[in-house]
A = this chain, B = another copy of it.
Amino acid sequence: MTQKSVSDLRVKILSALSDPTRLELLEYLSGGERCVCEILPAFQRSQSTISKHLNILYEADILERKVDGKRTVYCIKDPQVFEIIRMVDSLALTQISQLAEAGKILEKSLNNRS
């Protein structure tokens, strides 16, 4: 049973991370906890949209939420999530540099042709 839960959670976490707005939200929250009214002006999205995104990250257990008076404060639950993102970036960078390398080789062979 735990096995199934882990693979479900795995997909849930990865799905939550696979959206540009949510990645920006995480980056924004890397500076520490913020209430929604602070977050909103930093994003060019409607309040309902941001709220929904925050909730998706919360449901995936990536964000923590605490209600403080009439405000709701969100923060990163486990900074390990940034390690994941960094690894993805690292993979992406490897791909890009390989592409650039291929580009150079291609260019060189095109020049040699003339």
This protein's copies in its complex: 2
A13 part of interface (Cβ distance < 8 Å): yes
Query: Chain A: residues with CB nearer than 8 A to chain B?
Result: 2, 5-7, 9-11, 13-15, 17-20, 23, 61, 78, 80-81, 83-85, 87-96
27 pairs, CB–CB < 8 Å, chain A vs chain B: A5-B96, A6-B89, A6-B92, A6-B93, A7-B20, A9-B92, A9-B96, A10-B85, A10-B89, A11-B18, A11-B19, A11-B23, A13-B88, A13-B92, A14-B14, A14-B17, A15-B18, A17-B18, A18-B18, A78-B91, A78-B94, A80-B87, A80-B90, A80-B91, A81-B91, A84-B88, A87-B87
